[in-house]
Structure formats: structure tokens, C-alpha cells
Amino acid sequence: MSEQLIASNGSAQAEKVAVVTGGSRGVGLTIVKTLTQMGYTVHTCARKASAVEVPALVRLTRLDVTDYHATEAWINQTLEETGRIDVLVNNAGVMSAVGNLVSVDPDEWEAVFRVNVFAVMRLCRRVIPVMAKQGGGCIINLAGGGSAYPRKNFTAYACSKAAVVRLSDSLAEELKDLGIRVNAIGPGLQESEIWRHAAQVGETLPSQPWDNPQDLADLIRFVVTTPTVTGKFLHIKDKYRQAALSEFSSDLWTLRRVNPS
């Protein structure tokens, strides 16, 4: 693990601290910028942590989240410097093992879960006691295409992201009495390294225009600042701002089996 200090506010004990994985570009950078605009000091990591433009109040560390020991050391160092973690955003992910199930490498298929699910689980597990001790916190896990519907040729990615959604709402139930909120979000069709990788392995890029990063920023702001929202799977195109507060206590915006009436 190597660290590159991009900027800091000079305070050893920041008032609001966020941790974001995969925050050096694309979806992750949008999230990092949004949180800094909200006044958070952001600690983020990326496998390629050089030659990137990140805003002030960001500490960027070169790190692979599947190196679990290095990831825990990163969180420990963050806590030594800040004393708290208010928001955790698990954004780092891969869309590899692209192709029909019979043709893809099974080891590569399994490796997707190490990034998209197991690293998320370990980060949640490390941060939850911290948030419980400080009286609450907010965890946001990135879902994606295939989380809520079939996606041929992307079975590893789709299954892993569906697992993230179920992990999120299950944790929300576990932690609701501790003041810790957990949600999954769908960022929409954002231009990202994940799609560039898919193109490199022969997948056709989407024909429709990319979604607006501002819609992702708006959803991040909503989830972080709305204390009644937990256990939800929200997409950037959902009409969540128009919803009554009572609707967030229902099964709307969740991944559920629908039975005939």
C-alpha cells in the first residue's frame, strides 16, 4: 500500500469523514467530488492512484481492495488520523468474466466476487463497530446492471451485484437499532473504466447515451442526508424525491419476490 496525499484540511480530527473505494475516476470520482462538496474529508483508494484529478479534502491511496490485509491497514490509518468514519461507499468493482458461462474462465468468474462482494463485506465488517461506537453512520454499496434483472454474458457481474443488494438490505435490518443506515444504489449508465474493460474483452458498448453524473451526485446527497432511508435499492432514475416518507418503510425500491395476489 502506498499513499499519495492530494490535499487535506490540516485537521487531525475532521468533523465529517467519508471512505470511498475506487474513487480516482468515473463513478467513484463523481462520488468523491460530491462528498467533498458536502463538507466531508474523503479518504479514497484506487489500484491506479496516479495522474488523477481529485478535489481538495481528499487523501488518495494506491490499493487493491482484494488485498484484505492492506485494506484493513488503510482503514486503521484513516481512523488514526480522523478518529471517525461517517460514510462508507463501496464503489470499487469489476465487470470481467464477460461471455457465456461455458466459455468464461471459472477462476476469473470467482475473482469477480472477491472484488464486488467479499471486499465489500470485509469493509462493512471493519467499519460497522466504528460507526456503532460513534452513534451511527451511513453505508452505500454500489449495485449495477443485472442486480434486478437477468443479464446474459455478464453472469458473474450480475450475480455479484445482486448479492451486494441483498447484503445491503440484510445489514440494514441488523443495524437499524444502532443508527447505521445501509443502502444500495444503481448509478445508471455512467462512462467508466468498467465499460472500457468490457469493450476490451469484446463486449459491445451501450448504444444509448451515458447517464448524467449529476443524477448520481443528487442520489448520493439524498441517501447520505435522509435519515429515514435504509435498506433500499435506489436507482438514479427513480422518483425518490417525490415519495412520501411512509413509502420508505414499504417494500418499494427493494429486491423482492413478487407473488400473485
What residues are annotated to the active site?
Answer: 157
Residues 6+ away with beta carbon under 8 Å from 77:
none
User: What's the alpha-carbon Rg for the chain, to the nearest Å?
Assistant: 18
Contact between 39 and 17 (Cβ < 8 Å): no
In the β-sheet with 180-186, what is the strand arrangement from edge to edge? 2-5, 58-62, 41-46, 17-21, 87-90, 137-142, 180-186, 233-235
Q: CA end-to-end span of the chain, whole Å?
A: 54
Residue 81 burial (10 A CB sphere; 0-12, 13-18, 19+): middle
CA 239 distance to own-chain centroid? 21
What does the block give as the cell for 119? 471486499
